[in-house]
Amino acid sequence: MKHYIAIATLFLVLTSCKQNAEVKAEIETIKYSEETLDVTTSIYPENITKVLESHGGIDKWNEMESLVFEIEKPDGNEKTTTALKSRKSLIEAKQYTLGYDGKQVWLTENEEKAYKGNQKFYYNLMFYFYGMPFVLADNGIIYEAVKPLEVEGVKYPGIKVSYEAGVGESPEDEYILYFDEATNKMAWLGYTVTYFSKEKSKDFHFIKYSEWQNIKGLVLPSKLEWYEADGFKIGEKRSEMKFVNISVSETKPKDSVFEKTEGATTVE
């Protein structure tokens, strides 16, 4: 996997109605049977395979060369274009353009200090949130089963995801994909943040994958919800994010799409 998630808690500008949910979970590893313990970069345990299949299948995802989506924001939509094989990216907003050409991150601003965040951190962040569960089938991943997450009386089986040493910029990151046992669709994502500290963390944050849509046979998110969390007790819904104008294509984007524009600055 050339690049993968480096996730931090997002303080979104969108506000939403408050909702309480009591969540109980234990991160206790459940050993896979001998049949599923031998995990390689191309063979997945049964549970993650079922999840991938319920979202259209890893083969269908691998047929695609590009993914485009827009995030609804109060000051205008933010459009992300990603080359799925190289993970080159282009983020276009009213105030700025942020790109990754495969070697360097670059930024163009329409006014001084228009972009407020960490450019090198953000350029692929929302792609990885949006690309769930398929990005959890990238190379260099280790899978373990964990005890279910219980939300309002419903138990969601969990699959813990970690990374082999040296994979990406934050190999200490850990994720837990929780899925609906009836449909095998992804329901929640638990994640830790190590991008800034570079140290393993036990502090999990939670996103609810609340709405999905079918795009060319792939079941992809249309709304994500971030929740307050105290350990594994999730409280009020903090914010939400809606995705629109989604497209996937078997046609590879031209490299010129991601090239540094005139006047852009390179992010160190």
Is the pLDDT assigned to residue 10 strictly greater than 50? Answer: no
Q: How many other CB atoms are there within 10 angstroms of residue 88's CB atom?
A: 24
Is the pLDDT assigned to residue 176 strictly greater than 90? Answer: yes
Q: How many other CB atoms are there within 10 angstroms of residue 142's CB atom?
A: 12
Is the pLDDT assigned to residue 165 strictly greater than 70? Answer: no
Q: Which residue is it, tokens 């089986």?
A: 157
Task: Categorize the per-residue pLDDT at 179 as very low, low, confident or very high, splitting at 50, 70 and 90.
Answer: very high
- Tens of pLDDT, residues 193-215: 665 444 455 678 899 999 999 99
23-51 in b/e form (b: 16+ CB < 10 A) is: bebebeeeebeeebeeeeeeebbebbbbb
Q: How far apart are the first and last CA of the chain?
A: 22
Task: Categorize the per-residue pLDDT at 151 as very low, low, confident or very high, splitting at 50, 70 and 90.
Answer: confident
How much is the mean pLDDT over the chain? Answer: 82
Task: Categorize the per-residue pLDDT at 92 as very low, low, confident or very high, splitting at 50, 70 and 90.
Answer: very high
Average pLDDT over residues 232-240: 89
- Tens of pLDDT, residues 77-90: 999 999 999 999 99
- Tens of pLDDT, residues 101-117: 999 999 999 888 788 88
pLDDT score of 118:
85
Q: Which residue is it, tokens 């929740």?
A: 227
Whole-prediction pTM: 0.80
Task: Categorize the per-residue pLDDT at 172 as very low, low, confident or very high, splitting at 50, 70 and 90.
Answer: low
Alpha-helical (H) ranges within 146-199 are: none
Q: How many Å apart are CA 133 and CA 114, to the nearest integer?
A: 32
Local structure of residue 36 (DSSP, 8 states): H
Q: Which residue has the higher pLDDT, 127 or 192?
A: 127
pLDDT score of 208:
97
* DSSP track, 113-129: T---S-HHHHTTHHHHH
Is the pLDDT assigned to residue 262 strictly greater than 70? Answer: yes
- In sequence order, what E strands does the chain have? 23-24, 29-30, 66-71, 78-83, 89-92, 96-100, 105-109, 141-151, 154-163, 175-179, 186-191, 205-215, 218-230, 233-249, 265-267
Between CA 159 and CA 178, with CA 148 as vertex, the angle to 5 degrees is 45
Amino acid identity at 89 = S
Q: How many other CB atoms are there within 10 angstroms of residue 16's CB atom?
A: 15
pLDDT score of 111:
82
Residue of 64, 56, 5, 1 whose CA lies nearest to 189: 5
pLDDT score of 200:
57
Q: How many other CB atoms are there within 10 angstroms of residue 134's CB atom?
A: 23
Q: How many Å apart are CA 55 and CA 62, to the nearest integer?
A: 13
* DSSP track, 189-219: EEE---TTT-S-----EEEEEEEEEEETTEE
Q: Two tokens at 219? A: 């079941």
Task: Categorize the per-residue pLDDT at 33 as very low, low, confident or very high, splitting at 50, 70 and 90.
Answer: very low
Average pLDDT over residues 216-227: 97
Is the pLDDT assigned to residue 185 strictly greater than 60? Answer: yes
